[in-house]
């Protein structure tokens, strides 16, 4: 099932089942960047992950240019609850290389997070994001804040 979700997230096509949304690509610049979400992210289970995919880099080249810890993310809700995610590994899927950001702190489950702050030590262009929560089969769409 994850392969189906990844395919539609990376290809940007609508699935036949209402389990995913196409992901709009955006650029991540060095430094802090606020992101507005098209829909709130919900952390339903422990160990949520965010994958940041870019196209066309070889594994060795991609890992050398994006060392572990190069990107962090903080998801916040309107009540001040937060989930911190850190770049802990790499993922590869059909010509796309990705950074895997994993949950660093145990957050309360079922919270809706409407704000994302990214802190990047490297610039990434044409990024597509996949939000993985084992209890939810959705691909969430991130857009730059206005």
Taking only the tens place, the pLDDT of each residue in 9-58 is: 444 443 333 333 345 788 999 999 988 777 788 888 888 899 999 987 78
Q: What is the pLDDT of residue 110?
A: 81
Sheet with 49-55, edge to edge strand ranges: 26-28, 124-132, 49-55, 96-103, 82-93, 71-76, 111-120, 31-43, 142-144
Give me 104's structure tokens. Answer: 């660093």
Say which residue, 129 or 86, is predicted with more confidence. 86
Buried b (16+ CB within 10 A) or exposed e, 11-23: eeeebeeeebbeb
For the domain that residue 77 is a member of, what is the CATH number? 2.60.120
98: confidence class by pLDDT, cuts 50, 70, 90: very high
Number of domains in the chain: 1
Question: Which residue would you say has higher pLDDT here, 137 or 56?
Answer: 56
Average pLDDT over residues 90-100: 92
- Cα–Cα distance, 71 to 79 (Å, whole number): 24
- For residue 142, pLDDT over 70 is answered with no
- Domain around 69: 2-144
For residues 26 and 8, which has the higher predicted lDDT (pLDDT)?
A: 26
Q: What is the mean pLDDT of residues 76-101?
A: 91
pTM more than 0.95: no
CA dist 84 and 127 (Å) reads: 20
Q: What are the C-alpha distances in Å from 82 to residues 10, 16, 114?
A: 27, 33, 10
């Amino acid at each position: 099932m994850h392969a189906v979700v990844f395919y539609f997230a990376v290809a940007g096509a609508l699935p036949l089942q209402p389990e995913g949304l196409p992901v709009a690509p955006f650029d991540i610049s060095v430094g802090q960047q606020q992101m507005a979400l098209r829909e709130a992210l919900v952390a339903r289970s422990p160990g949520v992950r965010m994958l940041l995919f870019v196209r066309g880099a070889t594994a060795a080249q991609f890992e050398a240019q994006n060392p572990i810890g190069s990107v962090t993310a903080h998801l916040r809700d309107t009540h001040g609850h937060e989930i911190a995610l850190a770049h802990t590994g790499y993922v590869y899927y059909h010509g796309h290389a990705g950074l895997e950001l994993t949950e660093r702190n145990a957050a309360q489950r079922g919270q809706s997070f409407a704000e994302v702050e990214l802190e990047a030590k490297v610039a990434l262009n044409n990024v597509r994001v996949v939000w993985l929560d084992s209890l939810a089969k959705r691909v969430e769409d991130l857009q730059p804040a206005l």
